[in-house]
Amino acid sequence: MTDTQERTLVIVKPDGVQRGLIGEVVSRFERRGFKIAGLKLIWIDEALANEHYKDHIGKPFFPGLVKFITSSPVVVIAVQGKDVVKLVRNMMGALKPEEAAPGSIRGDLALSKSFNVVHGSDSPENGLREVSLYFTDKELFDYPRDVENWLKHE
C-alpha cells in the first residue's frame, strides 16, 4: 500500500446479504476505481461485535445493534485507495435513508436507519483498526493493476 492510500472496512450487513445486494455493493466500489484488498463472507459472533462496536457499549441502541449484526452472515471488504474513507462514506450516504442522496448506496437501497445495508469506517485510524479485526495480514492483498494509471488523482 502506498503512502497516499488508505484502507477502510466495509460491511455488507445482514439485511444486504439477505436481500442479495452483495454484488451491487462491491461493484459500486470497483466501478469507482477502488482496489478490493480483501473480501470474505463471515458470521460475526457476539465477542467480535462487542469489539467492533466497543465505542457504543452502554448506549441504548447497543444491544439491538449486536443482535442485528450477529443475526446473519455478512460480507467484510477491505477497500483500498486514495482518500478511501471519506469517499466510501460519501458513496454510502447518510445513515438515515430518507436523508441519503439518491445514487448513494443507502439512498438507493436502505430501508431504515437500522436496516441500512452497509457499514463503513469513520476515520482512517478506525479503518486500519476495523480491517485488522476481520483480516490477517495474509488475507490482505496489495497488487498492481494496469487500470491504476487511468485512476490518478490530480
Active-site pick, 52, 56, 119, 153:
119
Helix (H, G, I), strand (E, B) or coil at 57: coil
The residue length of the chain stands at 154
Q: Output the tens digit of pLDDT for each of the chain's 154 residues.
A: 666 789 999 999 999 999 999 999 999 999 999 999 999 999 999 999 999 999 999 999 999 999 999 999 999 999 999 999 999 999 999 999 999 999 999 999 999 988 999 999 999 999 999 999 999 999 999 888 888 777 766 6
Nearest-angstrom CA–CA distance, 20 and 25: 10
Nearest-angstrom CA–CA distance, 27 and 151: 16
Q: Which residues contact 96 (CB under 8 A, 6 or more apart)?
A: 113, 116
- Give yes or no: 119 in active site: yes
Residue linked to cell 455493493: 25
Question: The pTM is what?
Answer: 0.93
Q: Which residues contact 16 (CB under 8 A, 6 or more apart)?
A: 22, 25, 74, 75, 109, 117, 118
